[in-house]
Amino acid sequence: MRLILYLGQHGLIFVLAKSAVLIAPLLAAGLLSQSLYGTVEWWLALSLSFGPLLAMGAPGLIAYGTLGDKFRRHVRTATVFVLIAVTVLLLLALAMPLLGLDWKSSFYGPVALQCAVVALQMTLSARLKGLGKGAWASLVESTLYLSLLCALLLNWQGFDFILSFMGLLLFACSLLIGGVIRFLPVPSLSRWQRRNYRAFLRVGLHFMAGSTLMGIFMALPRISLGLLASPEKVAEFALVFRWLSISIVAHQFISTVFFRTIFTDIDTRKRDRMLSSAVLLVAFGTVSIVFALYIAQALNLPLPIPTSMELVWSMSIVMVMWSATACFEGSLYREGASLAQIRAIVSGLFVQILVLALVAVLASGNVLLYGVSYAWLLGLVITIAVQNLALRIAGQEMFFLLRVVSGCLILFVASAFAALWIV
């Protein structure tokens, strides 16, 4: 009974938190112009790429430092570093209008402010995960999207969207800083300059490289479309991504609420099965969303439905591979193999960039969108292959997880060939 109440309470908090992540972008697609929606998605992609970079691996170090003694001595220094970095970002964002770079006409201020929120929410969320407060961690992790959702509601009431969004982000920063001070050990200001930042950076660099490269890897499709095409193309791609990313909620619930259970000292097979179940749930969720979108399109429902259902299908397998990559990533960090994770992401990122370069030269229009999605898929497949090899070398092979990933890929390829044969 106690377990049911625990899951119910945490599940409710988790659903409330993740609903903002799912609803806000879809609501933005419906309320904002296609150009402004594409611009907002581009801002989000940039901030989710560079926010982890500016945190220098502090969130990962804090999460695993909270779980055990290996990184615990760096937690205070990591906290101080994040607070200093966020202060600089806030001052930079506030100074932009004074330098003639208005928030409405330039992306520097909005992106700097969003990066500050990302760094803070990642840091506080990591601490809460390590303390076993996974549901509350998911709420903190959704701060950026909660701010976006509130800004959209204000815009619906006639307020200026960008000014509302920036004001809410500043308010969110103040709340997150208060949370960091409440839940993390923050030394007095007089001791900040005596912290061993060099030792923290040596350790944090491994976490930073992995999380930042993964952030760039996941945001690169939208960033590349913003550079190669137009905000409208970013909006079209992002709309498909947002619908399908609903399926990731199942993975995030398991990996967030049960973070402490999965990544402490449990049997490898048990961890393998738990992570495999998360990927399977994502796969079932993705297929359900694809069919739901087909039905919604056929019934002409008043929803922001993607215009290209072919793009929806090609992106569906990307969601499954994304979930699998995150599972392998957590397992590698559990073994202290952060360098192996970096090598895996670099390998996948290299393949993705190579394919994107070919697509940029040879494709345009909708073909460009398909090319970007397949570049992403190939990069994820290579990343998973290198991650799995590293775990095998470490003696922690994820047998069930690998079978689930292989089965999903085979089914996707078979369905693609079947569709071509029918056509």
Report how far Cα 204 is from the mean position of its chain's Cα atoms: 19
- pLDDT for res 120: 92
User: What contacts 18, CB < 8 A, 6 or more positions away?
Assistant: 138, 142, 249, 252, 253
State the total domains in the chain.
Answer: 2
Domain membership of residue 221 (yes or no) is: no
pLDDT at residue 365 in the model:
66
Per-residue pLDDT, 264: 66
- In this structure, is residue 206 part of a structural domain? no
Q: Which of 158, 185, 200 is the last residue of a domain?
A: 200
Note whether 94 and 170 are same-domain residues: yes
Question: Residues 305, 358: one domain?
Answer: yes
| 131, two tokens | 């303390």
pLDDT at 293: 86
- Same domain for 303 and 416, yes or no, is yes
Query: Which are the contacts of 404, defined by CB distance < 8 A and separation ≥ 6?
Result: 276, 279, 280, 283, 324
Q: Note the pLDDT of residue 61.
A: 77
pLDDT value, residue 317? 87
**pLDDT in the model for residue 364:** 67
Establish if 101 belongs to a structural domain: yes
11-45 per-position pLDDT tens digit? 667 666 666 777 788 788 878 887 888 888 888 88
Residues near 189 by Cβ (< 8 Å), separated by ≥ 6?
none
194 & 147 share domain = yes
Same structural domain, 282 and 419? yes
Q: What is the pLDDT of residues 239-282, one digit of tens each?
A: 888 888 888 877 777 766 666 666 666 677 787 788 888 888 88
- Is residue 289 within 8 A of residue 247, CB to CB? The reply is yes
Which pLDDT score, from 0 to 100, does residue 8 have?
62
Last residue of a domain, one of 200, 218, 241: 200
Is residue 121 domain-shared with residue 73, that is, in the same domain? yes
Same-domain status, 64 and 185: yes
- Which of 200, 219, 243 terminates a domain? The answer is 200
Q: Identify whether residues 145 and 242 lie together within a single domain.
A: no
| In a domain? residue 209 | no
Report pLDDT for 246: 82
In a domain, 136, yes or no: yes
The answer to whether residue 205 is domain-embedded is no
Q: What pLDDT, on the 0 to 100 scale, is given for residue 11? A: 62
What pLDDT is attached to residue 66?
Answer: 77
Q: Are 177 and 291 in the same domain?
A: no
Question: Alpha-carbon distance 331 to 263, whole Å?
Answer: 7
Residue 376, domain extent: 229-423
- Does residue 213 sit within a domain? no
Question: Does residue 328 belong to any structural domain of this protein?
Answer: yes
pLDDT number for residue 257: 63
Residues (pLDDT < 50) of the chain are 423
Same domain (yes/no): 109, 179 = yes
Instruction: Indicate whether 362 and 233 sit together in one domain.
Output: yes
Say if residue 41 is in the same domain as residue 172: yes
